[in-house]
């Protein structure tokens, strides 16, 4: 019988392989392409730091994110999750900046992947049974296994969104 830690690691590797398929095919122009009139993207601030569009209010219509925004979003939630797993204070959302170009973005995504892979290597079934502290409140009763499975699902969702945007742009739908 396969242990749960192996299942989580194998699921992550499959998810990453599908994400890497799209990462390898991105072009610089893909990153900031706005697929709709109402879009969220990343923009340089007055000192050149790339910041993500954000609202704490429920928006209608919901903005369609750019690939740049989606990669920022991956960086934010993954950095936050990894910090919680390591037991350190996670970065504030506003402190997570987008790298600003394709090469740096790819480097960031792959560095996050390596960091997460190391966390997974140090994980066993005993660790997976511990209570998770993110993204749910402690009273939710979720385990670290739930947390690690959530990372895989969230990454798969973002990879699919990036892939779909890349394909739409390449097809010239706008």
Residues in a beta bridge with 39: 64
Q: In which band, very low, low, confident or very high, does the pLDDT at 3 lie, cut at 50, 70 and 90?
A: confident
Q: Alpha carbon of 62 to those of 58, 59, 65, 73, 131: distances in Å?
A: 8, 5, 9, 15, 33
Residue pLDDT, tens place only, 26-85: 999 999 999 999 999 999 999 999 999 999 999 999 999 999 999 999 999 999 999 999
Closest of 152, 141, 142, 163 to residue 70, by C-alpha:
163
In percent, the amount of the chain with pLDDT more than 90 equals 80
Task: Give the pTM.
Answer: 0.94
**Per the structure block, which two tokens stand in for 72?**
């920022």
Mean pLDDT of the chain: 93
Q: Alpha carbon of 121 to those of 15, 25, 144: distances in Å?
A: 16, 28, 14
Structural domains in the chain plus CATH codes: 4-171 (1.20.120.450)
Residue pLDDT, tens place only, 117-140: 999 998 888 888 999 888 888 889
């Amino acid at each position: 019988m396969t242990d749960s830690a192996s299942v989580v690691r194998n699921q992550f590797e499959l998810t990453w392989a599908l994400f890497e398929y799209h990462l390898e095919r991105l072009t610089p122009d893909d990153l900031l392409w706005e697929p709709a009139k109402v879009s969220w993207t990343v923009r340089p601030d007055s000192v050149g730091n790339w910041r993500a569009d954000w609202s704490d209010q429920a928006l209608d219509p919901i903005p369609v994110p750019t690939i740049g925004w989606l990669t920022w979003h991956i960086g934010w939630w993954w950095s936050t999750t990894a910090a919680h797993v390591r037991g350190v204070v996670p970065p504030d959302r506003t402190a997570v900046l987008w790298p600003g170009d394709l090469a740096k973005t790819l480097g960031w995504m792959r560095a996050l992947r390596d960091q997460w892979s190391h966390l997974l290597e140090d994980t066993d079934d005993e660790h997976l049974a511990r209570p998770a502290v993110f993204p749910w409140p402690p009273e939710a009763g979720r385990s670290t296994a739930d947390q690690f499975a959530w990372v895989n699902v969230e990454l798969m969702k973002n990879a699919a969104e990036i892939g779909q945007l890349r394909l739409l742009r390449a097809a010239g739908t706008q």
